[in-house]
Homo-oligomer: A and B are copies of this chain.
Amino acid sequence: MRATAQNAELALLLEVAGTPKPGNVDRHREFDDLRFEHFLAGAVGAGDGLSAATETDVGVGEAFETAVEGMADQRGGNTQFGALLLVVPLARAAKRGNLSPDGVAEVVADTTVEDACAFYRAFDHVDVSVRDPPEGLDPLDVRRGSDAVDEIESRSITLQQVMELSAGRDGVAREWTEGFERTFRAADAIAGGEGPVTDRAAETYLWLLSREPDTFVATNHGRETANSVMVRAQEAREGGEDLVEAFAESLVESGINPGTTADLIAGGLFVALERDEVRV
């Protein structure tokens, strides 16, 4: 039986292997500077941090920072930051024996100021696209990385509170504040599908994309574009394989990359693997 940390790593690998996953790197599509192999190396590199996520004497924040540092040890840049931000607390919940919305909400509620500091330090290892912080919160801009740690400490902000500040703008942070609802929904869809797991993951990706605007797209291209991508995802789903491929090509050409939706799939794959609801 695979260990929890191995399921976490495999989830990252299965996520990137699923195709077609319009707008994201997959087995059949990559960019010159962000290739399939970077995701393979990112998943392997995250291994130590994923193991740490299953060691209950290591903080969730520290485990995340270790995972990000290892993930970033390849030339593609940010491959799996958001995915790790979902998978690490889920792995901790699994280790505690309660891989459920309640279980992961407890993990979130238990986070400390030290976890928040480690989360900020993770931004030192890799460039991540994020929105500007809410007005008046510039000192807490995550892009400051470890430079913001004094501020976090002096304000006694926990990692849960950090996520609450971003939940309105960032779909991964929103999972933290809403019991990982979309992640568990993705897990159920993947588990309920048919055929090879990478195909199910790709189908679930398109389904999620057609239901809610991707916040990573909104961050980089504005909310209108994110809405349009959502509508087109629904059209592509209804139109069948050729339309999905055409949609994929068009997103790549426009440089539009629904990264948050891919992150949710990685989280969902982990849940489904760990619950033994899908077998590879």
Contacts and interface: CB of A to CB of B under 8 A. Distances in A.
A6 interface: yes
B9 A44 contact: yes
Contacts of A279: 75
B280 A47 contact: no
Contact of A1 (B1, B44, B73): B73
A-side interface size class: 20 to 34
A35 to B, nearest CB: 6
A10 B73 contact: no
Given A2-B73, A28-B28, A75-B279, A37 B17 contact: yes
Interface in A1-37: 1-2, 6, 9-10, 13-14, 17, 27-28, 35-37
A231 interface: no
Given A1-B73, A27-B36, A28-B27, A10 B41 contact: yes
Contacts of A9: 44, 47
Contact of A17 (B2, B36, B74): B36
A38 interface: yes
Query: So how many copies of this chain end up in the complex?
Result: 2
A39 B98 CA distance: 29
A20 to B, nearest CB: 13
A40 interface: yes
A82 interface: no
A66 B28 CA distance: 33
Contact of A47 (B6, B36, B41, B197): B6
B198 A37 contact: yes
B75 A10 contact: no
Contacts of A171: none
Contacts of A6: 44-45, 47
A74 B197 CA distance: 12
Contacts of A73: 1-2
Contact of A196 (B10, B37, B74): B37
A44 B36 CA distance: 17
A113 to B, nearest CB: 30
A197 B197 CA distance: 26
B74 A35 contact: no
Interface in A26-65: 27-28, 35-38, 40-41, 44-45, 47
Between A36, A37, A73, the greatest number of chain B beta carbons within 10 A of the residue's beta carbon is seen for: A37
19 contacts: A2-B44, A6-B45, A9-B44, A10-B41, A10-B44, A13-B13, A14-B37, A17-B37, A27-B28, A27-B36, A35-B198, A36-B198, A37-B197, A38-B280, A40-B280, A41-B280, A47-B47, A74-B280, A75-B279
